[in-house]
């Protein structure tokens, strides 16, 4: 598995497996086991997904040594703040049956972000977390966090896919030594992405699927991707992308698909902030 090196020297797999929207514990556990068996070493979950226990069980079942895995989880809004963040991390570690996390992210730029970040910096220094970062932070929120804190986020997990390519933001992150990570790299099948003529023609040329082309495009850009699937054959398919490379011409064709518009609610909009804040989960 190819890796990227984060700003603190920690190595992170460039391709992982995400478990968003797999709430059924038995199904999530089996999917995560299938992913690890297929060769994935990065597993991405979150407190708000409510499947950390299933991921922890899968890690135990896999038999893969802990130091070969890269486990990410995220802090939800209702646990933001200094003391709440410390308690939330311990709860996540217990559910995951782990002594430490490889990456801990603030899930949304909402609530007492700075109190949470101070707690995360402390836990990072204590060795409970190997790297700390954020998710869904726009450029202004990201640079503000960098300027006013000691530890620069190692990762920002944001929306990136062929229809929202975020090249300028990727450049901005590189300049600030923050690794871009894509959630939803396959667009959850929206916009008929798997029937897209441009992507299909490239896939046919390489005898690959559209999903494989998208993920290879992502990893060649140096963007970490965490596709999700509940089908074993798709899980295996999605990791089978390192035996071909896209050309510059193919990159240019994919660039024509960029709408420069998000397909999802944005966390910098008042109505989205209110909706997220109202989501009180049983964590």
User: What pLDDT score does 282 carry?
Assistant: 82
CA dist 215 and 162 (Å) reads 10
Average pLDDT for the chain: 96
Q: What's the distance, Cα to Cα, between the start and end of the chain in Å?
A: 33
User: What pLDDT score does 100 carry?
Assistant: 98
DSSP H/E element including 170: helix 167-175
Known active-site residue 49: yes
CA distances from 268 to 48, 144, 222, 277 (A): 19, 14, 26, 13
CA dist 164 and 206 (Å) reads 23
CA distances from 230 to 110, 112, 153 (A): 30, 34, 30
CA dist 29 and 173 (Å) reads 33
Annotated binding site for substrate: 107
Count of CA atoms in the C-beta half-sphere (13 A) of 102:
20
> Is 279 a residue whose pLDDT tops 90?
no
Q: pLDDT band for position 156 (50/70/90)? A: very high
Residue pair 22/28 in contact (Cβ under 8 Å)? The answer is yes
CA dist 186 and 193 (Å) reads 8
Matching residue, tokens 């804040």: 277
Annotated binding site: 107
Matching residue, tokens 């804190």: 149
Joined together, the tokens standing for residue 236 give 């295996």
Domain residue ranges in the chain: 3-277
CA distances from 189 to 47, 154, 166, 216, 252 (A): 24, 29, 19, 17, 22
Strand partners, 15: 225
The distance of Cα 75 from the centroid of its chain, to the nearest Å, equals 13
pLDDT 10s digits, 9-54: 999 999 999 999 999 999 999 999 999 999 999 999 999 999 999 9
The residue annotated as part of the active site, out of 40, 49, 124, 169, is 49
Helix/strand/coil for 154: coil
Strands 11-13 vs 3-5: parallel, antiparallel or unpaired: antiparallel
Q: pLDDT band for position 280 (50/70/90)? A: confident
Which CATH number, 3.10.20.740, 3.20.20.100, 3.30.70.1140, 3.10.290.10, labels domain 3-277?
3.20.20.100
């Amino acid at each position: 598995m190819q890796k990227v090196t984060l700003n603190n020297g920690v190595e992170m797999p460039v391709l992982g497996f995400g478990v968003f929207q797999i709430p059924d514990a038995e199904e999530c556990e089996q999917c995560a086991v299938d992913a690890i068996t297929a060769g994935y070493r990065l597993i991405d979950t979150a407190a708000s997904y409510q499947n950390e226990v299933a991921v922890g069980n899968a890690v135990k079942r896999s038999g893969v040594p802990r130091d070969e895995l890269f486990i990410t989880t995220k802090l939800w809004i209702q646990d933001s703040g200094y003391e709440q963040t410390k308690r939330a991390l311990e709860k996540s570690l217990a559910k995951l049956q782990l002594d430490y996390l490889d990456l801990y992210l603030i899930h949304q730029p909402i609530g007492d972000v700075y109190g949470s970040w101070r707690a995360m910096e402390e836990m990072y220094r204590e060795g409970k977390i190997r790297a700390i970062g954020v998710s869904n932070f726009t450029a202004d929120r990201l640079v503000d966090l960098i300027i006013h804190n000691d530890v620069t986020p190692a990762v920002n997990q944001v929306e990136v896919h062929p229809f929202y390519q975020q090249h300028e933001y990727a450049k901005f992150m590189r300049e600030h030594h923050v690794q871009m990570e894509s959630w939803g790299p396959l667009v959850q099948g929206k916009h008929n992405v798997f029937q897209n003529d441009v992507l299909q023609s490239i896939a046919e040329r390489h005898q690959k699927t559209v999903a494989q082309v998208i993920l290879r495009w992502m990893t060649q850009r140096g963007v970490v991707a965490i596709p999700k699937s509940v089908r074993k054959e798709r899980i295996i398919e999605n990791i089978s992308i390192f035996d071909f490379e896209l050309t510059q011409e193919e990159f240019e064709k994919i660039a024509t698909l960029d709408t420069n518009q998000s397909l999802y609610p944005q966390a910098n909009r008042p109505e989205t902030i209110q909706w997220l804040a109202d989501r009180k989960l049983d964590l």
